[in-house]
Amino acid sequence: MDNNEVRFLAAEGRYGRFVAARLRPGTDLIGGIMAVCRAHNIKQGYISCVIGSLKQAQYVLPITDASTPSGIRYGDLITIGGPIEFTSGQGVICQSPDGELMIHFHGCFCGPDGQSLAGHFSAGGNPVLVTAEMIITEISGMRMMRRMDPEVGLMMMSLEQGEEQGCFRN
């Protein structure tokens, strides 16, 4: 591929509803975000901000792997004991090809030693300490899916223009 080549997938949508939520102590961060989305029937959108605190943080980072098409994969789960100051989190809300809710979420946080860390968060292992406050924005007029991308060998966002019925692939 030419280093100056520009390639992308895109679809146009509209802002739907905004949902503000607070997760209570003990709730798993990603599981809680998914529960809020389900309670408000949000199938695609983005998590514009999350701040709060966690009892511990579990996340993964990309590592080199020459056997994959992209040359990377996610490494082993990293666990940092708390208390954790969760300073910033963002993500996208998509659906699997089977229509299941999927969250792709990255966060920045400080451990007890004050060192700033960041990574890709998954469901389980990130219990809220005091609070996790967030704003979720629904997107309508398009579908945001997560599908295996054979070019990179990972689940990636796949966009479809149009409403949920009668979508077509870009």
The mean per-residue pLDDT over the stretch 133-162 comes to: 88
Neighbours of 112 (CB within 10 A): 11
Could you tell me the pLDDT band of residue 170, with boundaries at 50, 70 and 90? very low
60: DSSP letter: B
Indicate the CATH number of 14-151 among 3.40.1360.10, 3.90.1300.10, 3.30.1330.80, 3.40.50.300: 3.30.1330.80
Percent pLDDT > 70 in the chain is: 94
pLDDT for position 110: 97
- The single residue listed with the structure tokens 């990972």 is 154
> Which residues share a beta bridge with 95?
101, 145
Identify the weakest region by mean pLDDT among 114-118, 146-150, 161-165.
161-165
Average of pLDDT values for 135-164? 85
> Can you give the residue ranges of every domain in the chain?
14-151
Categorize the per-residue pLDDT at 167 as very low, low, confident or very high, splitting at 50, 70 and 90: very low
- Asked if residue 30 has pLDDT above 80, the reply is yes
